[in-house]
Structure formats: C-alpha cells, structure tokens
Amino acid sequence: MQPERSTLKTPPGRRDFLKKAAAAAWATAPWIVPSTVFGANAPSNRIQVACIGTGNQGISILRKFLKNADVQIVAVCDVNRASYGYKSEDQFLGREPARKEVDSHYGKQFGVGAYRGCQAYDDFREIIVRKDVDAVTIVVPDHWHATITIRAAEAGKDIYCEKPLSLTIGQGQAMVKAVREHHRILQTGSMERSNPLTRYVCKVVRDGRIGKVQRVITNVGYNNKAGPGPGWTPMPVPNGFDYKQWLGPAPQVPYHKDRGLYRFRFNYDYSGGQVTNFGAHSNDLAQWGLGTDNTGPVEIDYVSAKWLPKGSLFNTALETEFRCRYASGVELICKTNKRPVGVRFEGTEGMVEATAYAWLARSEPASLITSQFPNGTLRFDASAAHVRNFLDCVRTRRDPVAPVEVGHRSASLCHLGNLAIRLGRNIKWDPDRQQIIGDDEASRMIDPIKVPAP
C-alpha cells in the first residue's frame, strides 16, 4: 500500500539536511525554510517517524513522540486494525485508533480541523521502504524485534526499539551488527536510564559510596495474567487481526486470545516471561550500577523455578530465582518478588536500592540518598525524557543513553537466566566471546532461529 496522500512536503535529501543541521545549530538554521515563515519546527525540519506496533506500550510511546514539536508521525503500522483485548481489557487499540489519534492531534495543532496526513499499514515492510521516514518505533512482541530492527537498519532508519531488545542472545548479536554496520541510532526502551533518580542511585554505586559491591538483588514480578490450563481449545481469529503476520517468524499454531495481545509475554515462542519482561528493567539497572554494560556474568550457579501444569497455554516459569556471578566476584540474584520491580546493591559500607519505575529509593546509611528526587521534581516522566534523548541523538548522531549494545547485554543477562531456568541447570558463560562454555544444548538455544519449546 502506498501513502494515499501526504499533506506534508518531503524535501529531497532530508537525511543529509538533518545531519548538517545538527552540526550547525539546527534550530536556527535558515537555509531550508525561513523560520519567519514556519518557525524552527517547520514540517521540513521535523524528524519523520513511523510507529510500528500500536498496542499497549506502542500507543503510550506514540504519544510521547507526538508531544515533541520537532517530530511528525507520518505512519503507523499494526497487524491489528482495531480491537479490545490488550493489557487493560477496555483498551481499544490497533492501527486505526492510532492513525485517528495522530491525525486529530495534528488537525488541532495546525488548526485545520479534519486532517489526513498519517498513513496506516498492516505490513512494516511497506513503511521501511518509504524514503521520507527517518525513524521508526518498534513496539511489537519480542519475537519480532530482531527482524524489524535489522530490516529498518538496512533501510537507513533510526530506531526506538522496546525492551527486551531481543528474543535470544543470537538475535541481539545480529541486531548490534546491523545497527553498527549501517550507522544507525538505536535507543532501547529501558527508560529507567533516563530517570534522574535511578541514574543517581547507580552513580552512588559507581562512585564507590557503598564500598565494594558484593551482592545485587533484582526483582521481577509475578505473572499478572492467567492463561487457560491444559486442554484449552483454539478460538476463531478476530476480524481485522492478521494472526499469520502476528506469528511471523514463530511457529504456526492455532489462535487463542491469550496467546496474542499483551499475553505473549508468557510464552517462550514470543518472549521470556517476567524474567525478560521486568528483568529487562531491573537487570539493566544492575548492569548500569555495576559498570558492566559491555560485558556480563561468567556463570549462573544457582537456579530454581515453579511451572504451570504441562499443556497450559502459558509456558514460561511462574516463579523463578537464579544467581549469577561476575568475574569480579559480585553475585547477582534475580527473583520473583511481590516488591515492585527494582534493584538493590549491597556493598561493604552500605546499601542502596531503587525501583525501576522510579519514585522510590532507599539507602543505608540513609545519608547516601539525600532526596528521593535529586532534581527536586515530584514526578518525572522518564519515558518522555527517553524519547527526547533518542530524538536529540537522531540529530547529533551521538549514542543515546540505552544504545543497542546496552540493550543487548542487559537482555543477554535475562536470556542466560532463562536458559538455566528452562534447562534446570547451571551455565558457564564467556562474556567476551559471548559463548556458552561446555553445554551444547544451551549453546544451540542462543541460536537466533532454533529456540526449542521447554
């Protein structure tokens, strides 16, 4: 499907323009469109964004992009036209509601009433070939992250990709390669890195203020949805939902609503349970505080898990705990916990902890944290700051706060935990070569294609 009609002009060579403009104080650059006519955020100056995946998190991220005056959302894409059934059952989402929201936003902003400038697609490949798209958001289930990221990087798009960056370690490696080879900017959706509170907590640790770190505890929540048990029966695919394209690279299996929207988290074909869902936040903070962004642990030396009955639709572990060790001797324990997702660093001289979504931090001695909000704010929209950081980096071509390697290594830590959980045994890992040591079965499971069911 080609764009039906665009009300925005796309000048030739806009990518070159964006680069040049960044180098020469973009906001005041006068040579494309006189700012007296359109202002600094004239359509030709805007970063043109296409949003791929407009479900629970996709619509939230889309709104953060809309809030930036130097962005124009020109397209949305979702394999679901419009339906209920997302995280909150009363959420009505999909590509059509998203398109309408974007058009209505710009209609009001431009004062033109009924505006039609955003195209809706069901196939991301049609977006990726559009020359006028500078950047894409990838907010789809985890089993699609690698394919879409790699295709987008090859097509020269910058990328805001949700966490966990990958479905497998092998996919993450391929994503790093593609992003770097094609000189793209990629921000992983680990928005805790744009939160001044968590940044502060990690700085306290990295500055040695709790002494030598000995132990890190990371929390992941319990499953917040229940799927059907053994003997579940398939359901008819709803109208307007392209289930075949939703499955994409995953095995072709009968449809059930608890397999798809939001609930994909609890099936290893599409995700990694709460270990990758929440663990991608809490373990990312652990990596940040420890200063191990470009490496990882050397072994998983303890693992336990509780499972749902065999034959249940959800097949990820119900409750888990794994412990890993870094070469420095630091141990990290990641476990299912009722406490909010977060991280606790324990050192020889104190302890400091933070929740991933912020708004709470604690330390012993208490004086290590002087304020819950070092910047004096009462609330902080870390997701908005994270999107802004991405947009700034699209202009400056600098790495964002959660570049592809960071997303890959934090996801790798979660994936290693999941491998140990699924195999029920300890694992040794070479973080430099990114290889499993002495376990052929586990090694095969980091392959990007062959991810066996448990």
Ligand X SMILES: NC(=O)c1ccc[n+]([C@@H]2O[C@H](COP(=O)([O-])OP(=O)(O)OC[C@H]3O[C@@H](n4cnc5c(N)ncnc54)[C@H](O)[C@@H]3O)[C@@H](O)[C@H]2O)c1
**Residue 101 binds to ligand X (criterion: CB under 6 A):** no
Among 62, 139, 204, 250, binds ligand X (CB under 6 A): 139
Q: Does 159 bind ligand X (CB under 6 A)?
A: no
Residue nearest to ligand X (CB): 55
- Taking each helix axis from N to C end, the angle separating 279-290 and 404-423, rounded to the nearest 10 degrees, works out to 120
Question: Are 305 and 317 in contact, with CB atoms under 8 Å apart?
Answer: yes
- For the CA atoms of 82, 85, 87, 90, the dihedral, rounded to the nearest 10 degrees, stands at 80
Least distance to ligand X from the beta carbon of 51, Å? 10
Pairing of strands 427-430, 361-364: unpaired
Within 118-137, which residues bind ligand X (CB under 6 A)? 124
- Nearest approach, Cβ of 208 to ligand X (angstroms)? 30
Number of residues located near ligand X, criterion CB under 6 A = 31
Closest by Cα among 154, 124, 120 to 140: 124
**Binding of ligand X by 43 (CB under 6 A):** no
Min dist CB 227 to ligand X, Å, is 14
Q: Shortest Cβ distance from residue 37 to ligand X (Å)?
A: 37
Q: How far apart, in Å, are the Cα atoms of 256 and each of 80, 235, 271, 277, 331? A: 15, 5, 16, 21, 40
| Part in contact with ligand X (CB under 6 A); list of ranges 78-86, 230-238, 322-330, 394-402 | 78-86
163 vs 335, beta carbon nearer ligand X: 163
- CA-CA distance, 330 to 314, in Å (whole number)? 33
Q: What residues from 206 to 245 belong to the interface with ligand X (CB under 6 A)?
A: 245
The window from 46-54, 98-106, 391-399, 403-411 that contacts ligand X (CB under 6 A) reads: 46-54
Shorter beta-carbon distance to ligand X: residue 81 or 203: 81
Q: Decide: is 261 part of the binding site for ligand X (CB under 6 A).
A: yes
Do strands 427-430 and 299-306 pair parallel, antiparallel, or not at all (unpaired)?
antiparallel
Does 445 participate in binding ligand X (rule CB under 6 A)? no
Continuous segment of H or E residues that includes residue 6? none
| Distance, CA of 379 to CA of 17 (rounded, Å) | 36
Q: What angle do CA 328, 330, 333 make, to 5 degrees?
A: 145
Q: Which residues of the chain form contacts with ligand X (CB under 6 A)?
A: 52-58, 77-80, 86-87, 93-94, 124, 139-142, 144, 162-163, 189, 191, 245-246, 248, 261-262, 277
